[in-house]
Amino acid sequence: MATSFLPYEPNQLYLLPPSPSDWLPEGHWAWFVSDVVDGLDVSGFYARYEGDGRRNQPYSPTMMVKVLLDAYASGVFSSRQIAKKLHEDVAFRVLGAGNFPAHRTICDFRQLPLKELQALFVQVVGVARELGRVKLGVVGVDGTKIKANASQHKAMSYGRMKEEQARLKARQCEADAARGRHEDDGRKPTQGDGRGARFKREFGVPEDKAQENFTDPESRIMKTQEGYQQCYNAQAAVDGESQLIVAAGLTNNASDNAQLLPMVKAAEHNVDNPPAVVLADAGYRCEQSFVALEQSGIDALVALGREGKAAVKLDAQCAPASVHMAQKLNTEAGKARYRRRKVIPEPVFGWIKHGRGFKRFSLRGLQQVTAEWNLVCLAVNLKRMPVLARQA
């Protein structure tokens, strides 16, 4: 007896056009994105279009935000690939609702709204807080180097060399100041007890190997696991219980030293509540930050040196807050609490870089890259929230 197969008629025409919403099952990720964005205040994205007398009708910013969030949560970051997905992917077509913006339109849209994306990120964190997903008990702060959209090989004219020499010096002054140095430090450490090794160069003097990139001048050469790359330093404060990102930041300084306090303040602002405990590695060691956290009543556990290295000698008169930190870290309770740091922010960076495949920024310039990092963190949080709902 011949086998009977289900009907397969690729050339069969529909008598009536079906609704695209029928193509996605109930509970699909795209519906969640659509519902969340519909419940947020996106009026800031519309403000730029008011009263400019455009002849052509622009695409709906609400639709563009939905498509971008779905794209970044799905690991699609290229504007060309996003435009292609709007034609080929059912979820993208449902969110686009019959709109097919070109890749240049998508690229232009995501370059502009830094403040709007930051506000959207804060709103989503607020939604998570209202749902009880974020309690801000233990917060882990960490940074990761992400490649810039920049070429490492560029020609340079003599006139450009002279311009870049001045820029390199100004940039080095800024970087040295962020590390706690000042012009009259005599190449001696100004933090702790001042007994560490002397700096190899004077304040504001660039190293011989210092470079300036012309593709993205605001990016910097940073050390990564793949060697020295043109990068930005992306920061995140992660809630220890939900592993949602409660604060996002970005800098073009390879050092994390000056980022601890701003990240803690940003987390407190976004959740409207100070964290009970802050965990961070030795890169965030800073006496001034420790003092500020003590005064704020925030319990912080920050390593004072790299694991396996000899303990740092501290002077109680020069660095009293660092001495207090060392005392906490030397207790069994302190050691146990600090060990949690590795399982809070690091898995989140793993999801971003390896799970989603985000290892290189698409945009250029500090402001635009900051906006893109907010978009990445926002998309990761949205992807995480349905998982938390199922676990509840």
- Predicted confidence at residue 13, as pLDDT, reads 72
**Rg of the Cα atoms in the chain:** 25
* Whether residue 383 has pLDDT greater than 90: yes
- Matching residue, tokens 């592993």: 243
Calculate mean pLDDT across residues 321-346.
93
| 144 alpha-carbon distance from chain centroid | 9
CB-CB contact of 382 with 124 (8 Å): yes
**What SS3 state is found at 211?**
coil
Strand-pairing partners, residue 222, are: 229
5-34 residue pLDDT tens: 667 677 777 666 677 778 888 889 999 999
Q: Which structural domains are found in the chain, ordered by start?
A: 20-112 (no CATH), 125-154+219-367+384-391 (3.30.420), 158-212 (no CATH)
Provide the pLDDT confidence category of residue 48 given band limits of 50, 70 and 90.
confident
pLDDT band at 193; cut points 50, 70, 90: very low
Beta carbons of 111 and 371 less than 8 angstroms apart: yes
Confidence band (pLDDT; 50, 70, 90) for 155?
very low
Round to the nearest angstrom and report the end-to-end CA distance of the chain: 52
DSSP-derived secondary structure letter, 360: B
Q: Answer whether residue 156 shows pLDDT above 70.
A: no
